[in-house]
Amino acid sequence: MPVARLQESSFKGVGWVPTNALITCFDGIGDSPYGSLGDLFIAPDTRTLVDVDFEDDTPAERFCIGDVQHLDGSAFACCTRSILTTAVHRLRSVASLQPVVSFEHEFQFDTDEKAIMQTPSFSMKGHREAADFGETLVAALRAAGLKPESFIKEYGADQFEMPIGVANGVLAADHAVILRELVRATAIRFDKVVSFNPIRSLDGVGNGVHVHFSLQDLAGEPVMYDAQQPYQLSQIGGSFVAGVLEYLPEYLSLTAPLATSYLRLTPHRWSAAYNNLGAQDREASLRICPVSGDDDEQRAGRFNIEFRAADAAASPYLVLAALLHAGTQGIEDNLPTPSVTTDDLSLLDESTLSKRGLSRLPQSLSEALQCFERSHMIHQWFGEEFKGVYLALKREELSHVEAWSPEEQCAAYGRVY
Ligand code: GLU
Ligand code: MG
């Protein structure tokens, strides 16, 4: 629509319908409780307006993120952004804390898997070959108000990584959406096909989304760092992290939402396979990140935990809402800090794992959806309406892909994401 409409006082948003929440990524429609009934609108949050001119004679990229609302302005139960807003408020009211978050994305250009032999990972050659793309993307992100930190030729075939600076609460998830769209917008201008596909082939590496988070009090002071505690994780940070791990199987289908997400969440893919808090371990679901700094104040400001069991097929709003609800629950229930793992858990048998309070994450989307369905907490945190809609949506998607081989599933999802 013409951008000028955003300024009109009578403009409240664009029309939407409840059943749209059940459209799968393959354009199927899950079993809808709404049918053809109901009217909603997407109310723009003009603070998120992106207006990036690539100065190459193509139209500027202009878009805006909004909240899906009923006609009276109340939130639609399946509005992912409103769900996150509720989770942010809960953390604030339970613990007087606010989340500080950054979503770190990996993506791949659509080239031959064997390209890895031509463009070695982490090499100057790899960066040089993608320099025009990288420079343009960094400029576009900056123009949209994000703070790109680096552009890395990752390990996978034509795989790159784009970490960005932290933002508070809902804005961090907005930034994840904006980043994905600007990566695509930049790729189009270079005639490249890019994908955030969680995994492209069984013998390739995955594309992860790693969520770096920390907590601040309402005055902006970091509360997760305590130099006196093991691994410098404060007590309140430990309770939060314990909640995130405790409920991980129940909300995993929100953070790893595709049938193929579970091919990525396997040992030795540097993603996440167990419900563990690891130190110096890039296969832990939660990783305590090493921080540098001259003194405790600097280190406290930089201290963060990384959640590795997410991919870019997931809504960043739902990912963060799940982490915040689970973490807040951990604080509410005063859970003790989990013990920290520093070994390769895939070498341990089940009884050793269970003695240490560890277990393998659900190994398929249907298993994860069963945990989601049975979860009392999901009901409490997300509400019955959202829960039913999400299950119907994902089960419709599963019925679409279940007859396909894993390779066919990877290829089909790759074209979507
Ligand atoms: N590609 C890995 C993943 O799927 C992450 C590699 C890394 O950056 O540690 O999560
Ligand atoms: Mg990486």
pLDDT 10s digits, 128-142: 999 999 999 999 999
Distance CA 4, CA 11 (A): 10
Kindly state the average pLDDT of the residues 78-92.
Answer: 98
Question: Which ligand has an atom closest to residue 162 CA?
Answer: 2
Residue 98 has pLDDT above 60, yes or no: yes
Q: What kind and span of H or E run contains 67?
A: strand 66-70
Residue 113 pLDDT: 63
| Among the bound ligands, the one closest to the CA of 152 | 2
Does the structure show a pLDDT above 60 at 274? yes
Question: Can you give the pLDDT at residue 110?
Answer: 87
CA 56 to centroid of ligand 2, rounded, Å: 30
d(CA 144, CA 51): 7
Question: CA 77, 82, 87: angle at the middle one, nearest 5?
Answer: 105
Q: Does residue 289 line the site of ligand 1, with CB under 6 A?
A: no
Task: Measure the CA–CA gap between 176 and 316, rounded to whole angstroms.
Answer: 7
Assess whether the C-beta atom of 281 lies below 6 angstroms from ligand 1: no
Q: Which two tokens stand for residue 42?
A: 């997407």
Mean pLDDT, all residues of the chain: 96
CB proximity list for 223: less than 8 A, separation 6 or greater: 97, 215, 216, 217, 234, 236, 237
Measured in Å, residue 273 CA sits from the centre of ligand 1 at 12
Q: Where are the domains of the chain?
A: 3-416
Mean pLDDT of 398-416: 97
Residue closest to 81 by CA, chosen among 315, 342, 305, 372: 315
Bridge partners of 209? 105, 310
What's the mean pLDDT in 215-235? 97
Ligand nearest the Cα of residue 280 is: 1
Contact yes or no for 76/82 (Cβ under 8 A): yes
pLDDT of residue 119: 78
Closest ligand to the CA of 160? 2
- What tens digit of pLDDT does each residue of 383-394 get? 999 999 999 999
Q: Provide the CA 20 distance to its chain's centre, in angstroms.
A: 21
Rounded mean pLDDT of 167-190?
98
Question: Per-residue pLDDT for 368 more than 60?
Answer: yes
Query: In this model, does residue 115 exceed pLDDT 80?
Result: no
Ligand 1 within 6 A of CB of 270: yes
Residues 6+ apart with CB under 8 A from 204: 113, 156, 157
Rounded Cα gap, residues 141 and 343, in angstroms: 38
Question: Mutation test of ligand 1: which of 122, 196, 205, 262 has the most ligand atoms closer than 8 Å to its C-beta?
Answer: 205
- Average pLDDT (191-208) is 95
Q: Is 264 in the pocket of ligand 1 (CB under 6 A)?
A: yes
Q: Is the pLDDT of residue 211 over 70?
A: yes
pLDDT value of position 118: 66
Q: What is the pLDDT of residue 111?
A: 78
How far apart are the C-alpha atoms of 412 and 331, rounded to whole Å?
40
> Residue 25 pLDDT more than 80?
yes
Query: What are the two backbone dihedrals, phi and then psi, of residue 117, each rounded to the nearest 5 degrees?
Result: -75, -30
Predicted pLDDT of residue 387: 98
- Nearest alpha carbon to residue 257 among 199, 173, 315: 315
Q: Say whether pLDDT at 48 is over 70.
A: yes
Instruction: Name the CATH topology of 3-416.
Output: Creatine Kinase; Chain A, domain 2 (3.30.590)
- Cα 161 to ligand 2 centre (Å): 6
116 has a pLDDT exceeding 80: no
- Taking residue 406's Cβ as centre, other Cβ atoms within 10 Å add up to 15
As a whole-number percent, the residues of the chain with pLDDT over 70 amount to: 98
Q: Cα dihedral sign for 190, 191, 192, 196?
A: positive
Ligand 1 atom with minimal separation from the 198 CA: 4
Q: What confidence score (pLDDT) does residue 120 get?
A: 86
- pLDDT at 38 > cutoff 70: yes
Which residue, among 216, 200, 217, has the nearest Cα to 208 in the 3D structure? Answer: 200
Pocket test for ligand 1, best of 104, 153, 155 (most atoms within 8 A of CB): 155
> How many of the other CB atoms lie within 10 Å of CB of 384?
11
Q: Is the pLDDT assigned to residue 291 strictly greater than 60?
A: yes
Cβ–ligand 1 contact at 278 (below 6 Å): no
Give the residues across from 164 on adjacent strands. Answer: 148
Q: What is the reported pLDDT for 413?
A: 98
| 117 pLDDT more than 60 | no
Q: What is the mean pLDDT of residues 360-366?
A: 98
CA 209 to ligand 1: nearest atom: 10
**Cβ neighbours of residue 285 closer than 8 Å, sequence gap 6 or more:** 245, 248, 272, 273, 274, 275, 276, 277, 278, 307, 308, 309, 361
**Percent of the chain residues topping a pLDDT of 90:** 93
Beta carbon of 105 within 6 Å of any ligand 1 atom? no
Q: Distances from the Cα of 415 to the Cαs of 93, 194, 229, 313, in angstroms?
A: 42, 9, 46, 12
